Amino acid sequence: MTEPLDVTALLSELSLAEKAALCTGEDFWNSVGIARDGQVLVPAVMLTDGPHGVRKQAEDADHVDLEGSVPATCFPPAVALGSSWDPELVHRVGVALGEESRAERVGVLLGPGINIKRSPLCGRNFEYLSEDPLISGVLGAALVRGIQSQGIAASVKHFAVNNQETDRMRVSAEVDARALQEIYLPAFHRIITEADPWTVMCSYNRINGVYASENSWLLIDLLRGQWNYPGLVMSDWGAVRDRVASLRAGLDLQMPGGGARPVDAVIDAVTAGRLDPADLDRAVERLLRLLNQVLPAVTQGGSYDVDAHHALAREVATDCAVLLKNEQDLLPLDPANAGAIAVIGELARTPRYQGAGSSLVSPTRLDVPLAEIERTVSGSNTVTFAAGYPIDETGDAEALLAEAVVAAQGADTVLLFVGLPPAAEEEGFDRTHLDLPADQLALIDAVAAYNDRVVVVLSNGSAVALDGWQDQVSAVLEGWLLGQAGGGAIADLLFGLAAPSGRLTETIPRRLADTPSYLNFPGEQGQVRYGEGIFVGYRYYDARQLEVSYPFGHGLSYTSFDYRDLRTTVTGAGDELAVEVSVTVSNTGQRDGKEVVQVYLGQPGSYLQRPARELKGFAKVALAAGEATEVTIRLTAPDFRYFHPGKDRWVLQGGDFTVAVGSSSRDLRLHAGITVDGEYVGPELTADAPFEDWLADPIGGPLLLKAISKDGPFDVAADRMMLPTPLRVIANFPGAPITPEELDALVVAANG
């Protein structure tokens, strides 16, 4: 076991040049080590991607050389992991990722990615968990805790407001304060305060004009000041433009490194008095503390059980796939009585199980759905295969389609694998539409014309349009990208060896034109305006009362669940508010299953506009057929607050809230109303505020009425036009009931 570094001693011992060197990487994947006279003073540490597997490249490989990393378990990417709605399961994945990192002597695993899915077009949505900040934060925290339980640092990325790939290294996300606080930052905040990630990675983009890597509001005022974050902030790879400016703004470690220029720039800036040496010392101190956190595990190393991790990847994948539709309970199929099964679609033979880019893992092995289905079906039942379409530009689409039609005609049931080909979604690019490739759409039409028992299995890293084809098929299993063991998980689900329990963490819209960011994605001329504000995902579809293909939270199982006895208990007020929401859930079907109980809050009378409902709590419960259980979800003050941009702080406005509990954001089974104590929130009382705002205020209203009733009672109703008129305008009228001087005194008194 290595001795911990003596941080205080090192800070006084290290030279300016050594300190400057430490704050930039050694190369693509390692931090700088410092040795003197053959003695290691500060060891180096390796950082690698992340997030759903360890992508450790050869020492000399660069960033763009994405192939050829050491074998590692490819767990389901975030798009799938999110759909599990299961923090315990996600924690286990984190533990496994930590073990593999340790075995590879990697000190920092670059993940999780927790950016909000603002548009289904974002090319990197497969690396992100949800359109909702609560689920992103809860599952992100579980992953971080798991990874770090093994002595390996997680790196929560990409901080912040990195929601598209188009122009990602430059674009300015123009986002208002409320959307920032309520949608784009809470997952980071939750993870930082609940899971203590040892590192955070800042994003490439600008936020309201300022690069994240140089954004002192983001990295110092908010992260350090308000959130008390003690860990290290590193840059995304290449996100630093000006090393000195970034250090000053709180960016501790620039990655990658490899050149003398940034180091010299820091030395020069300190020498010339342009950079406070304390800024440099703070960054070095955080790096040294990180080394103390990870070096014991990295030095010790370890090994992991490849088979057990593969089995875990399969278990997790099984809980991530989402059964969207299952007419006449076509699924599950009986493996002993399935008849003639036609498996159609190249994706059944050449699975897509992860996305392309920096997260690309070399899997330890790969389960192929077709082989797993063949293995599962028993007795005299048969499985035939037809590719149906080419997965890339090569291949004779027409001939493949004709062959698939023949297979469909002769089959009792068709298992039709369609989805996005690898080139359709990857890091660095956004999609431009939501459709499946045209040859796959033609295949669905053709197959469905000859067989009325068609089950579609989807492989895609982000929502695709289902409108126009899903009515022709009986069942749809959204398989997302399920990781290296997804093939086995799909076979288990189709044949009932496991029950589907995944739920959507992103809405599946009917059309691209319905999506919240449609008019503002991906922006132009270096800017993207977040015009939909807080109305992201289901918050938007609900506000617009738009039909969607499948709502946020949706997912079927092979059984049914009943909800009854909703009870709410409110205790405390303001910051001490606590609300318990209890409900009894029973499995009313014939099979075991898992239900995700979701609790949504709304505040119809809030002073500032709020979404009709927002997810504030959830619990995944396993129930055997016939079993019932009471589920209790605890809400606290932050769940009730909204961000008030005028006051520049969160407010808990007292009043009535709606509590809705159910199986999806649009399958709400039980409702209750509660009243909570909180602050009064109303218009600001200034001299320029209108008469009616003053009247409505519990303090300002009586004060105003008293002031203007000096010469007898003032009849407000007599002059409606007065109501929207600013008090200052009224005070300036000849013969007004209040003078400008009295008004100034009134403003002071009302704001006491």
**By the rule CB under 6 A, 358 interacts with ligand BGC:** yes
Radius of gyration of the chain (CA): 29
Give the number of other Cβ atoms within 10 Å of residue 94's Cβ: 31
Q: Choosing from 236, 252, 367, 693, which is the catalytic residue?
A: 236
Distance of alpha carbon 251 from alpha carbon 253, whole angstroms: 6
Size of the site for ligand BGC (CB under 6 A): 8
CB of 148 to ligand BGC, least distance (A): 17
CB of 82 to ligand BGC, least distance (A): 17
Distance of alpha carbon 483 from alpha carbon 318, whole angstroms: 11
CB of 236 to ligand BGC, least distance (A): 5
- Asked whether the beta carbons of 183 and 137 are under 8 A apart, the reply is no
Q: Which pair of tokens denotes residue 314?
A: 């399969």
CB closer to ligand BGC, 187 vs 504: 187
Q: Which residue is nearest to ligand BGC (CB)?
A: 358
Distance of alpha carbon 264 from alpha carbon 275, whole angstroms: 13
CB closer to ligand BGC, 152 vs 391: 152
CB closer to ligand BGC, 413 vs 462: 462
CB closer to ligand BGC, 50 vs 197: 50
CB of 358 to ligand BGC, least distance (A): 3
CB of 237 to ligand BGC, least distance (A): 4
CB closer to ligand BGC, 80 vs 615: 80
CB of 103 to ligand BGC, least distance (A): 20
CB closer to ligand BGC, 55 vs 610: 55
Place of tokens 């409702």: 671
Q: Is 667 a catalytic residue?
A: no
Order across the sheet with 172-174: list the strands: 210-211, 206-207, 172-174, 527-529
**By the rule CB under 6 A, 110 interacts with ligand BGC:** yes
Distance of alpha carbon 322 from alpha carbon 334, whole angstroms: 20
Distance of alpha carbon 454 from alpha carbon 448, whole angstroms: 7
Contacts of residue 437, Cβ cutoff 8 Å, sequence gap at least 6? 389, 420, 421, 424
Among 22, 43, 45, 49, binds ligand BGC (CB under 6 A): 49
- Asked whether the beta carbons of 161 and 173 are under 8 A apart, the reply is yes
Among 128, 237, 385, 538, binds ligand BGC (CB under 6 A): 237
Q: What are the two backbone dihedrals, phi and then psi, of residue 332, each rounded to the nearest 5 degrees?
A: -80, 155
**By the rule CB under 6 A, 540 interacts with ligand BGC:** no
Q: What are the two backbone dihedrals, phi and then psi, of residue 659, each rounded to the nearest 5 degrees?
A: -115, 125
Torsion over CA of 223, 229, 232 and 237, rounded to 10 degrees?
-30
Q: Annotate 624-657 with three-state secondary structure.
A: CCCCEEEEEEEEEHHHHCEEECCCCEEECECEEE
CB closer to ligand BGC, 19 vs 55: 55
CB closer to ligand BGC, 49 vs 506: 49
Contacts of residue 622, Cβ cutoff 8 Å, sequence gap at least 6? 592, 593, 594
CB of 279 to ligand BGC, least distance (A): 25
Torsion over CA of 451, 457, 463 and 467, rounded to 10 degrees?
10
User: Within 13 Å, how many C-alpha atoms sit on residue 103's CB side?
Assistant: 17
**By the rule CB under 6 A, 280 interacts with ligand BGC:** no
CB of 627 to ligand BGC, least distance (A): 42
Sign of CA dihedral 289, 294, 299, 300: positive
**By the rule CB under 6 A, 157 interacts with ligand BGC:** yes
Touching ligand BGC, residues 207-236 (CB under 6 A)? 236
Binding site for ligand BGC (CB under 6 A): 49-50, 63, 110, 157, 236-237, 358
Q: What are the catalytic residues?
A: 236
